[in-house]
């Protein structure tokens, strides 16, 4: 815990250094804090206030050295607000200082007999620092990409996570003409750390199938998962289906991909067919059943019912699963009847 935040270290900042004024101010401050905390707050946005004012206010709070819930909350709000705007040197200094701040007030946790930080000004300050890094990286990337700077990619790969995020922000904002220059290089370097994020952003911006293929085959699970969820919107249903077939080969995103196929099945009959063929796939069958259940019209229910007579045990089970999961009352009844007939003695499903 930094001792500077505690009472006793406030007097230097107060001008003039007069004990009476000092005391008056402290009483005023406490009064105002109490008022503001309990009463309805004025509808005055933090965002509308000048950076210099916010910094000065934080400095004042720090100099007064009084630590209350209200002052900690106020410091947190100030640093988070500063994160949404370009930093002044003073703001940088303040946030740097606050980034070291340990939580000052613990409160009872709603989960039981333990205490947790009320707010964490230090953590908020560190988020703000990363936002600044990200924003600066975005600005630099916008400039570099617009200029066709060949160094852009090298800079991207040597950046930290916040720097890479800023570059990706830029990619999302730029017109296609600026990005195509980097397309092939991104594909060539797809194995490098962070390349999948960049490729996914470029793929979305360019609606580029090859970039998506790179992401879906070599991307980390989280990036590949995010990519499949935007395909229909970025490349259209037909191309999305082709890419989803590629994604289905990856066990870590296959199930989620099949749900996306399900969303396409409303408009693409070939997508619906893919669901049916997937139903007999040992790995995908359960997901196919869940997706078919979600889109179970009368024809689907009938077809599932006939599969209950399948000689393939797994197909039979997956058809049963789909009927069970369906919101359709008739489908559920078919499942119940079939179970009762096949296992009359066993109440428990095993």
Partner 1 sequence: MRFLTLVIAGLLVSQFASALCEFENGTISNPDDPLCRDTQLVYTENDDSGDNIALGYPPPIPVDTLTAVDGFRTYSSLFAQHQDLMLTRDTVGGSVVGQTQLDRDIWAYSIGDVDNLTNDGRPEGAVIINGGIHAREWQSPEVLTEIFEQLVERSDDAHIGQYLRDNLNVVLLPVINIDGFIQTQTFPTRATADERQPRDGRMRRKNLRNPSGGVVDNQLDTTDDSFFGVDLNRNSVHGYGLNGGSSANPISLIYRGTAHSSESEILALQAATGLGPADRLRLGIDVHSFSSVYFTPRTGNTRRDAITLGLATRMRAVTNFKYRYSPGPIGSTGIGSLDNYYAFEFQIPSYTLEIEPLNGGQDYGGTGASHSGFVLPDSEITRVRDEIAATLLLGFYRQSGPPHVTAVHITNLARDEVVYAAQWVADGVGRRLEVTTDRAIVPSDDHRIYIAFNKPMRWYDANGNLSNYAGQSSTAGQLELNEPDGLFGISLQLAPNPDWLDVPGGPPDGYLNYRGDAFTRDMPLSQMGLTVGEPKSVALQIELTDIAEMALDADPSTPVDWQNGHWTGYEDSMLAGGDTGGADCTFIVFLADDANATAPPKVAECQAGAPPPLPPPPPPPQPAGGGGGGSGLWLLPLMLLAARRR
Within 123-182, which residues bind partner 1 (CB under 8 A)?
123-124, 126-127, 130-131
- Is 113 among the residues that bind partner 1 (CB under 8 A)? yes
Nearer to partner 1, 146 or 294 (CB): 294
Q: How far is the CB of 255 from partner 1 (least distance, A)?
A: 4
Q: Decide: is 76 part of the binding site for partner 1 (CB under 8 A).
A: yes
| CB-side neighbour CA atoms (13 Å) of 62 | 18
Residue 109 binds partner 1, judged by CB under 8 A: yes
d(CA 133, CA 101) in angstroms, rounded, equals 20
Q: Binding of partner 1 at residue 314 (CB under 8 A)?
A: yes
Q: Return the structure tokens found at 218.
A: 């070599």
Of 179 and 287, nearer to partner 1 (C-beta) is: 287
C-alpha 141/C-alpha 161 separation (Å) is 14
Asked if 56 interacts with partner 1 (CB under 8 A), we say yes
Buried b (16+ CB within 10 A) or exposed e, 308-318: beeeeeebbbb
State the minimum distance, in angstroms, from the CB of residue 63 to partner 1: 8
Would you count residue 112 as binding partner 1 (CB under 8 A)? yes
Q: What is the dihedral of CA 267, 268, 271, 273, to 10 degrees?
A: 110
Residues in the chain: 350
Tell me the three state secondary structure of residue 109: strand
42 is an interface residue for partner 1 by CB under 8 A? yes
Q: Which of residues 21-40 bind partner 1 (CB under 8 A)?
A: 25, 28-29, 32-33, 35-38, 40
Does 348 bind partner 1 (CB under 8 A)? Our answer is: yes
Structure tokens at 7: 């009472």
- Out of 5, 81, 201, 235, the residue judged to bind partner 1 by CB under 8 A: 81
Taking residue 327's Cβ as centre, other Cβ atoms within 10 Å add up to 9
Cα gap 247→255, rounded to integer Å: 9
User: In the block, which residue shows the tokens 């009938």?
Assistant: 302
Closest separation in Å from C-beta 182 to partner 1:
25
324 touching partner 1, by CB under 8 A: yes
Per CB under 8 A, does 73 bind partner 1? yes
Q: Which stretch binds partner 1 (CB under 8 A): 65-73, 139-147, 179-187, 264-272?
A: 65-73
Phi, psi of 9 (to 5 degrees): -115, 15
Q: Which of 67, 80, 105, 209 binds partner 1 (CB under 8 A)?
A: 80
For residue 123, the minimal CB distance to partner 1 (Å) is 3
Beta bridge partners of 112: 109
Q: Does 321 bind partner 1 (CB under 8 A)?
A: yes
CA distance 300 to 279: 12
Does residue 74 bind partner 1 (CB under 8 A)? Answer: yes
Is 251 an interacting residue with respect to partner 1 (CB under 8 A)? Answer: yes
Site track 273-292 with partner 1 (rule: CB under 8 A), x = hit? -------------xx-xx--
Distant-in-sequence, close-in-space partners of 245: CB < 8 Å, separation ≥ 6: 274
Among 191, 297, 345, 349, contact with partner 1 (rule: CB under 8 A): 349
Q: Least distance in Å: CB of 151 to partner 1?
A: 28
Rg (Cα) of the chain, in Å, rounded?
29
């Amino acid at each position: 815990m930094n001792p500077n935040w505690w009472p006793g270290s406030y007097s230097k900042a107060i001008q003039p250094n007069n004990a009476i004024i000092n005391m008056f101010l402290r009483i005023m401050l406490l009064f105002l804090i109490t008022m503001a905390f309990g009463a309805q707050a004025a509808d005055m946005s933090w965002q509308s206030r000048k950076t210099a004012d916010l910094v000065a206010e934080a400095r004042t709070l720090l100099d007064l050295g009084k630590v209350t819930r209200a002052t900690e909350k106020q410091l947190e709000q100030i640093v988070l607000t500063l994160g949404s705007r370009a930093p002044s040197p003073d703001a940088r200094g303040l946030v740097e200082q606050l980034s070291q701040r340990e939580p000052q007030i613990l409160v009872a946790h709603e989960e039981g007999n333990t205490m947790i930080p009320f707010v964490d000004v230090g953590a908020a300050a560190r988020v703000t620092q990363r936002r600044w890094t990200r924003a600066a990286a975005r600005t630099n990337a916008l400039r570099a990409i617009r200029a066709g700077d060949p160094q852009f990619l090298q800079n991207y790969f040597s950046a930290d996570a916040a720097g890479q995020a800023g570059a990706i922000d830029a990619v999302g904002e730029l017109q296609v003409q600026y990005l195509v220059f980097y397309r092939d290089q991104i594909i060539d370097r797809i194995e490098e750390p962070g390349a999948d994020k960049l490729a996914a952003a470029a793929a979305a911006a360019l609606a580029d199938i090859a970039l998506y293929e790179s992401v879906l085959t070599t991307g980390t699970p989280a990036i590949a998962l995010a990519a499949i969820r935007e395909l229909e919107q970025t490349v259209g249903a037909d191309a999305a289906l082709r890419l989803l077939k590629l994604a289905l080969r990856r066990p870590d995103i296959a199930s989620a991909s099949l749900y996306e196929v399900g969303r396409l099945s409303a408009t693409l009959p070939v997508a619906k067919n893919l669901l049916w063929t997937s139903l007999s796939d040992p790995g995908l069958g359960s997901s196919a059943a869940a997706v078919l259940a979600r889109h179970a019209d009368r024809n689907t229910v009938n077809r599932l019912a006939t599969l209950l007579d399948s000689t393939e045990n797994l197909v039979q089970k997956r058809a049963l699963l789909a009927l069970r999961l369906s919101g359709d009352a008739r489908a559920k009844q078919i499942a119940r009847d079939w179970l009762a007939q096949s296992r009359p003695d066993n109440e428990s499903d095993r």
